[in-house]
């Protein structure tokens, strides 16, 4: 394979015991929504200031091994003129980039969605690589209803993920493959497990059809959870359901599975991650995180768009990163939140 050494080096740099991935790749509408909640306008300068503040957190590299950037962030710099990807790498945090262009309804499949962005992807990856990105991320989402996802929805989304992953490896970037089964809805945890297993089977079948090297990719996926209209499940129940699905559907060749926080509260997602990792010695994969909101929510609340709050913002981020690092080892306790 072309770029084999480069891909292997990136995998090695991304995967460490107790280090996860920080997702600061929110789209313009998403980060505008989060900024609005704290009374901050979503300007390019405010986005740069906030993400720069996160990436310059002293000690963050002890707990975070990779950071997913939004496209504009790759070209942004600190006030001292240092590119943000270089700032990340100073702490051995590997810079990556979100490359999908968002979801749209899948034609003739009511309730299913598909992600755009494959056209011109190879050329964009070359530009991102020149800007410092070493891995990429593509997300497909699956809504659970009585009819969804449909069999064609499963196939179409899996094929898009596989085509993206193949292009990434061809261009020397490690692909993070992200199929996310959404929490929204009234489904129980058994239905989430059923759908998640079907999604993962379809994704890995497509990856193999497209000749994607499983050893040179990461899986980013949801925990198995009940829908938002159902009572919450205990962490041990979530861990058992998640382990069952993963062992049935994810090949051992995949080096790491990085869990999404999936709309959970920060403390809740950490407790669930810890429960999953209590039995990690039985798993062939590294079990890690790729949390966005669940890592950043306390930091955003501390920041409030004010430069005077910089130290408090970084402390809030570092606390959640440290606690999640402990959870990746099955060593987190709720009392540590105090």
Catalytic residue numbers, as ranges: 178, 220
Q: Cα 196–329–245 angle (5° rounding)? A: 15
Query: Could you tell me which residues come within 8 angstroms of residue 30 by beta carbon, excluding any fewer than 6 positions away?
Result: none
| 328 in Cβ contact with 298 (< 8 Å) | no
- Report the number of secondary-structure helices (H) and strands (E) in the chain: 12, 10
| Coarse DSSP helix, strand, coil percentages of the chain, rounded to the nearest 5 percent | 50, 15, 35
* Beta strand pairing call for 113-115 and 103-105: antiparallel
Query: Is 223:236 a contact under the CB 8 Å cutoff?
Result: no
Question: Which residues have a Cβ under 8 Å from the Cβ of 145 and sit 6 or more positions away?
Answer: 111, 185
Contacts of 295 (CB under 8 A, 6+ apart): 22, 23, 261, 266, 289, 317, 320, 321, 324
Q: How far apart are CA 161 and CA 175, in angstroms?
A: 9
Q: How far apart are CA 276 and CA 270, in angstroms?
A: 10
11 backbone dihedrals φ, ψ, rounded to 5°: -60, -45
CA distance 57 to 315: 8
């Amino acid at each position: 394979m072309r770029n084999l050494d480069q891909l292997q080096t990136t995998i090695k740099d991304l995967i460490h015991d107790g280090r996860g991935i920080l997702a600061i790749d929110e789209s313009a509408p998403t980060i505008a929504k989060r900024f609005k909640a704290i009374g901050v306008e979503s300007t390019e300068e405010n986005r740069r200031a906030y993400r720069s503040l996160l990436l310059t957190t002293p000690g963050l590299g002890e707990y975070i091994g990779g950071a997913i950037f939004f496209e504009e962030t790759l070209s942004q710099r600190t006030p001292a003129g240092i590119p943000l990807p270089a700032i990340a790498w100073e702490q051995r945090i590997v810079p990556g980039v979100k490359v999908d262009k968002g979801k749209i309804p899948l034609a003739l499949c009511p309730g299913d969605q598909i992600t755009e962005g494959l056209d011109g992807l190879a050329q964009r990856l070359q530009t991102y690589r020149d800007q410092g990105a070493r891995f990429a991320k593509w997300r497909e989402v699956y809504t659970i209803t009585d009819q969804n996802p449909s069999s064609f929805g499963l196939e179409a989304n899996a094929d898009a993920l596989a085509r993206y992953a193949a292009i990434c490896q061809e261009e020397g970037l490690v692909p993070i493959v992200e199929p996310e089964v959404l929490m929204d809805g009234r489904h129980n945890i058994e239905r989430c497990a059923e759908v998640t297993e079907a999604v993962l089977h379809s994704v890995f079948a497509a990856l193999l059809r497209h000749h994607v090297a499983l050893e040179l990719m990461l899986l980013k996926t949801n925990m198995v959870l009940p829908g938002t209209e159902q009572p919450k499940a205990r962490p041990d129940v979530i861990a058992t359901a998640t382990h069952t699905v993963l062992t049935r559907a994810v090949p051992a060749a995949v080096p790491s599975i990085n869990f999404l926080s999936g709309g959970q509260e920060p403390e809740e997602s950490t407790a669930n991650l810890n429960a999953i990792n209590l039995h990690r010695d039985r798993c062939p994969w590294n079990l890690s995180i790729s949390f966005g909101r669940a890592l950043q929510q306390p930091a955003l609340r501390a920041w409030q768009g004010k430069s005077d709050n910089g130290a408090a913002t970084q402390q809030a981020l570092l606390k959640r990163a440290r606690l999640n690092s402990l959870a990746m080892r099955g060593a987190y306790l709720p009392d540590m939140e105090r």
